[in-house]
Amino acid sequence: MSRIGNNPIAIPEGVTIDVKDNVITVIGTLGELTQEYSGVEIKIEDGQAWVTRPSDSKEHKAKHGLYRSLVLNMVEGVSKGWTKELELVGVGYRATHQGQKLDLALGFSHNIVIDVAPEVKVETTSVKGKNPTIKLSSFDKQLVGQVAAKIRGFRKPEPYKGKGIKFVGEQLRRKAGKSA
């Protein structure tokens, strides 16, 4: 029995869900998302969406909770949105943005300039005495996570001093230095 898959998805005001030919479309104030699905049925009743599976086979059980979570993320995304914050820890590490171009100075011989997808809104803040931060926000959870992971991949936090790009609130495993 899937505990996640059996829960209903509450549809907030201003959000419409359309199900046709194994494609679910969620439209809200922030945007529109579509997702193909298979192996489950999605029904909309009384302001709630229900995901059901036709049998108790292993494949149907796996997809039951998966698609319920994907639909919930789509509904929350088009109504509230998703944000990820990254923190640059290190001397001389800087981040600036010009429109959808993000310019990162991470201690390499050159700056890294990346074009961020138009669906993702980028904000950078640099306050004296604090580490620079990058805030990514969008209605698509998967896209925000992918962009954040790509940025973090340029300079992952190292375990000795903690220098690098990390998520705000992320706990790093630190190692002891060389004992002389």
Closest among 49, 45, 75, 54 to 141, alpha carbons compared: 75
The 3-state DSSP composition of the chain as helix, strand, coil percent (nearest 5) reads 20, 35, 45
How far, in Å, are 7, 66, 97, 117, 146 from residue 141 at the CA level?
20, 14, 21, 13, 9
Spans of all domains in the chain: 9-79, 82-167
Mean pLDDT score of the chain: 93
8: pLDDT strictly greater than 60? yes
pLDDT of residue 1: 52
Q: Given this chain, do its domains 9-79 and 82-167 carry the same CATH topology?
A: yes
- Whole-prediction pTM: 0.89
pLDDT of 117-176, one tens digit each? 999 999 999 999 999 999 999 999 999 999 999 999 999 999 999 999 999 999 999 999
Write down the architecture of domain 82-167 according to CATH. Answer: Alpha-Beta Complex (3.90)
Mean pLDDT across 45-54: 92
* Superfamily holding 9-79: Ribosomal protein L6 (3.90.930.12)
